Amino acid sequence: MPEYRKPNNNVAPPAPYNGPSAQEILAMRREFLMPNHILYYKKPIAIVQGDMQYLYDSEGRQYLDAIAGVVSISVGHCNPRVIAKTIEQIKLLQHTTTIYLNPMIVQFAKMLAEKMPSPDMKQTFFTNSGSEANDLALLAATLYTGNLDILAVRSGYHGGSRVPMSLTAVSTWRYPVPALPNIHHVLHGYCYRCPVKLTYPSCGIACARDVENVILHSTTGKIAAFIAEPIQGVGGVVTPPPEYFKIIFDIVKKYGGLFVSDEVQTGFGRTGSAYWGIENWEVIPDIITMAKGIGNGVPLGAVTSTPEIAAPLDQKIFFNTFGGNPVSMAQGMATLQEIDDQKLQENSARVGARLTEGFQRLYRKYEVIGEARGMGLMLGIELVKSRESREPAPDATADIMEMAKDCGLLIGKGGLFGNVIRIKPPMCITSDDADFILDVLDDCFQELSDH
C-alpha cells in the first residue's frame, strides 16, 4: 500500500482541534442528518481546517485538496486577502435584502459586467446557489422568447431542485418524481463514448447536428433555451469536440432560443485558456449562470444577461432573501480581485498543462486509464476495465480515491458510471503541488495494477 506523505512542510501547522472525532461526527450525522447526504470514502475523514490548497483533518493530518470543495474554492481555503474583506463587511453590515440601497451589490454587478464576453451582458441577479441561478435563467429565457421548450445535454448536471433536476441528465441524480415537462435532452459531445458510435472528425459532429432533429420532433418547433456546461463537471469532465457548441449555437438561434452557458464549474479562469469556459468554443452566450468558484466558499450564485433579455422579469415580484447579501458580495468581489491580482487564470493554464502532461505519462503506463481529458484545472481521468471494451471501472476508481486520500491527496469522481476521477484543485496550486498529485496517483495506479 502506498504510504501517507505530507503535501507541504513549509506552511504553518494547523490549530489544535478539540472537537468530536470522525467516528463521533459520523454517528451524529447518521442520527441527525437526512440520509441523502453522500460521503466520499469508506473510511471517512473529518475535515476541520483549511489553508489555501491544503486541508487538515481532525487528527491534524495535512491533505492537498485537488477537488476544492467540489470546485468551489477557486482562490484557496480561507484565503487571507479574501476573508479580510469579508470580515470587514461582517463587522459593518450583514444583511438587509435588496429592499434598500447598498453599494456592495451594485459594485459587484459592475465588476461582473466587465468580465462578460460581450458588453451587452451587463445585468445580474444574485442568488445563493447554482440551482437557483439556472432556474432563474430559464424563467428569463421562457418569458423573453415566449417559447416553452428547453434543451439540455445528456450527462449534464445543473442542480438538485426541481427544475435543475429535470435539466440534469444523469440518472443517478434524478429521483422518481415527475420532471418538468418541455425539457428535452440532446446528445453530448462525448467522443470517448460517442452516443452515435462514430469517430471524430469523420462523424461530421453528428451529435451536435442532431439537435435540430430533437427540436423538429420533440418540441413545438420553437425553443426558449438551450443550456449546457462548456465542459461537463459532474457528468465526468466530458469535453466536446471544438465544433460542437458552434454548430448547436446556430441551430438554437434558427429556432428562436437563447443559449445559456452554465459556468458554475468552468467559469472564472479555471479552464486556463479563457475566463469563461464557453469562450474556448468561440460562442458568445445570451445568459451566463454562475456559482461555486465565484464565492470561494460563501453561498453565492448569479445570472447575467442583457437588459433586453432581463426586461420581462419586471412583470412580477421576484425576491431572493439572501441574494445579493453584502457579506457574499464582499467575498465575491475579493475573490474576483484575487483571481486577477494573482493571475490565477494563467496559473490554471500553466499548472494544468503540467498535470495534463503527467496524466498522459500515466496513460501510457497504466491500462486502466481509458482517457485523460479536460482543460486547465478542469481535468478528468476515465477508468475502464479494458481499453478494448471501454467497460467502466467504478470499483477501481473508488479504490484509487481511497488510496489517494490515505496518501494525503483528495480527489473527486464523476460520470454516469462513477468511473471518472476529477482533478479540479483551487486555482492557486503550484507546480510542486502538481508533482505531488502525479506522484501519489502514480503510486496508487501502481498498487492497483499489482493487485
In a 10 Å sphere around its CB, with 0-12 CB exposed, 13-18 middle and 19+ buried, how is residue 232 labelled? buried
54, 157, 190, 366: residue in contact with ligand PMP (rule CB under 6 A):
157
| Chain position carrying cell 454548430 | 247
Phi, psi of 351 (to 5 degrees): -70, -35
Interaction of residue 436 with ligand PMP, rule CB under 6 A = no
Based on CB atoms, which residue is closest to ligand PMP, 165 or 309? 165
- Binding of ligand PMP at residue 240 (CB under 6 A)? no
Instruction: Rule CB under 6 A: say whether 131 interacts with ligand PMP.
Output: yes
Binding window for ligand PMP (CB under 6 A); candidates: 92-100, 130-138, 321-329, 422-430? 130-138
Smallest separation, CB 147 to ligand PMP (Å) = 22
| Cell 469563461 -> residue | 276
Among 116, 291, 339, 434, binds ligand PMP (CB under 6 A): 291
> In this complex, which beta carbon is closest to ligand PMP, that of residue 65 or of residue 443?
65
Contact 189, 280 (CB under 8 A): no
Sole binder of ligand PMP in the list 140, 151, 264, 400 (CB under 6 A): 264
Query: Contact region for ligand PMP (CB under 6 A) — 10-18, 151-159, 331-339, 417-425?
Result: 151-159
Alpha-carbon span 18 to 24, nearest angstrom: 13
Is the CB of residue 291 less than 8 Å from the CB of residue 302?
A: yes
C-alpha distances in Å from residue 101, one per residue of 104, 108, 299, 374: 9, 14, 21, 42
Nearer to ligand PMP (CB atom), residue 131 or residue 397: 131
CB 77 within 8 A of CB 51: yes
Min dist CB 180 to ligand PMP, Å, is: 16
When asked if residue 129 is in the footprint of ligand PMP (CB under 6 A), the reply is: yes
Would you count residue 262 as binding ligand PMP (CB under 6 A)?
Answer: yes
Which residue intervals of 275-319 are DSSP H helices? Answer: 307-310
Size of the site for ligand PMP (CB under 6 A): 15
Specify the residue, 58 or 271, whose C-beta has the smaller distance to ligand PMP.
271
Rounded to whole angstroms, the Cα distance separating 160 from 130 reads: 9
Cα Rg of the chain, angstroms = 22
One character per residue 188-227, x = contact with ligand PMP (rule: CB under 6 A) = ----------------------------------------
Contact predicate 241/191, CB 8 Å: yes
The one among 77, 85, 158, 405 contacting ligand PMP by CB under 6 A: 158
User: Which whole-number Å values give the CA distances from 296 to 79, 102, 122, 197, in the listed order?
Assistant: 9, 22, 22, 40
Residue 124 sits at the vertex; the CA angle it makes with 122 and 125, to the nearest 5 degrees, is: 165
Pairwise CA distance, residues 389 & 391, whole Å:
5
Among 138, 183, 214, 234, binds ligand PMP (CB under 6 A): 234
| In the complex, minimum distance from the CB of residue 130 to ligand PMP, in angstroms, rounded to a whole number | 2
| Interface region with ligand PMP, contact rule CB under 6 A, candidates 6-14, 117-125, 229-237, 337-345 | 229-237
DSSP state for residue 388 in the 8-state scheme: T
**365-424 positions binding ligand PMP, by CB under 6 A:** none
Q: Which amino acid is at 184?
A: H
Residue 15 backbone dihedrals phi, psi, to 5 degrees: -70, 150
Applying CB under 6 A, the span of 83-91, 128-136, 182-190, 345-353 interacting with ligand PMP comes to 128-136
Closest CA to 241 of 285, 214, 275, 203: 203
Q: Which of 14, 69, 130, 269 binds ligand PMP (CB under 6 A)?
A: 130
- Nearer Cβ to ligand PMP (262/286): 262
Question: CB 157 → ligand PMP: shortest distance, Å?
Answer: 5
C-alpha cell at 212: 435540430
Binding site for ligand PMP (CB under 6 A): 70, 129-131, 134, 157-159, 229, 233-234, 262, 264-265, 291
